[in-house]
Structure 1
Amino acid sequence: RLKVDAPSGTALALADSINEALDNSYEYKYDRSQERKKREKNEIGISAVRGGTIVGDHEVIFAGADEVIEFRHTAYSKAIFGKGAVQAAKFLKGKGPGRFDMSDVINEA
């Protein structure tokens, strides 16, 4: 109820990573409640549930004919995000101007 971003930044980052690997040829679809038709071939469906004390629960589902492949991350507290922020701050210490992301932090660890 108190979350203002849905989908989360993490969910969008996951979708962006998938889309980048597919030459950015897909469009995001956030709501199909008013549509009664098959999904277009160039759609990535994104669904968000925000509520209660859910801190971080993300699933990426590749649903094909007769099989489903799932990738899932669950955070049980915000401490893991704080740890990542501290790691990022340590990584940035002494660095000059530039553009960095968490993959830079992880690759140096």
Structure 2
Amino acid sequence: MRTADQPIRISLFAPNGRMGKAIAMAVADDPGFEIDQNHGDVLVDFSAPDALQDSLDRAISAGIPILVGTTGLDENADERIAEAAKQVAVLRAPNTSLGIAVLAQLVETAAQLLGPEWDIEIAETHHRMKADAPSGTAWLLAQAAACGRGTDIDAEAGRAGTGLKRKPGAIGFASLRGGTVAGEHDVMFLGEKERIVLSHRAENRLIFARGALAGARFLVGRPVGLYSMRDVTGAL
């Protein structure tokens, strides 16, 4: 059993992926962690949607918590993650940036204060290889806005360039892909003759890796249940 003065052992479900390599780099610079693929204290999954069940099964079999950072998950993912969270601690984090976690709270507050009279548009830009759109982070921010003012997320009316008229209270999305952009998100609140823009810019993939390590540290010793990055920032 791990003692408090020993490094937290990270098992990477997809060690050769972009985020797997970034997390390994972050671990190399942090003596509080080490990579141990066979005897991890926490399993970290930034893989592909179709690998979700395998990663959850691995965490349950080993009896260790899991951080799920994979985006683009299918409609059954919520149920699978909820079931796993009855057996191990699960941190679901579409974006592990601590800045994004704070941004989501700001978006929720702004949506609550401004009300449905203000339109909400979320614009996100990522590298050309990103498969899902809108991004998982864009959905996270939309959910925060919807929570703030009690509206539904209208994805169909939210696609960029569709020309669809927004339904009252709908949240729109615009997704751009190109180059090597790590991640840019703008949440725009548009009112009569004024607008508020809340933004986040990821300048390097290592910010997600460091956030994942913060999430892993949070999970160690945590009771069974489902957690978010808001829980992580609240514990800092």
State whether TM-score is above 0.5. Answer: yes
Distance 1:25 1:4, change over 3 A: closer
Q: Is 1:68–2:195 an aligned residue pair?
A: yes
> Which residue in the other structure is 1:104 paired with?
231
Match of 2:180 among 38, 47, 53: 53
What pairs with 1:1-109 in structure 2 (closer than 5 Å)?
Answer: 1-28=128-155, 29-31=157-159, 33-35=161-163, 38-109=165-236
8 Å CA contact retained: 1:6, 1:50: no
CA contact (8 A) 2:190 2:196 kept: yes
TM-score when normalising by structure 1? 0.89
Match of 2:69 in 1: none
Greater Cα offset, 62-71 or 25-34? 25-34
CA distance change for structure 1 residues 93 and 26 in 2, over 3 Å: closer, same or farther?
Answer: closer
**Per-residue CA shift, 1:21-49, capped at 9, x if unaligned?**
111345232326344x6422131111111
C-alpha separation between the residues in 2 aligned to 1:80 and 1:44?
27
Aligned-pair CA distance for 1:6: 1.2
Question: Between Structure 1 and Structure 2, which shows a larger proportion of helix residues?
Answer: 2
Kept in 1: contact 2:188–2:196 (CA 8 A)? yes
TM-score, with structure 2 as normaliser: 0.43
- Consecutive unaligned residues of structure 2, counting only runs of 5 or more, are 1-127
> 1:65 corresponds to which letter in structure 2?
E
Considering only aligned residues, what root-mean-square deviation do their CA atoms show, in Å?
1.6
- Matched residues, number: 108
Shift of residue 96, structure 1, vs aligned partner: 2.2
Larger mean CA deviation between 39-48 and 4-13 belongs to 39-48
Letter of the aligned partner of 2:186 in structure 1?
A: E
Q: Percent identity?
A: 37
SS at match of 2:159: coil
Larger RCO, structures 1/2 (Cα 8 Å, 6+ apart): 2
Q: Which stretches of structure 1, 4 residues or longer, exceed 6 Å deviation after superposition?
A: none
Q: What is the CA distance between 1:13 and its match in structure 2? A: 0.2
Partner of 2:39: none
Question: Distance in 2 between the 1:80 and 1:32 partners?
Answer: 28
TM-superposed deviation, 1:85:
0.3
Q: Is the 8 A contact 2:188 2:195 kept in 1?
A: yes
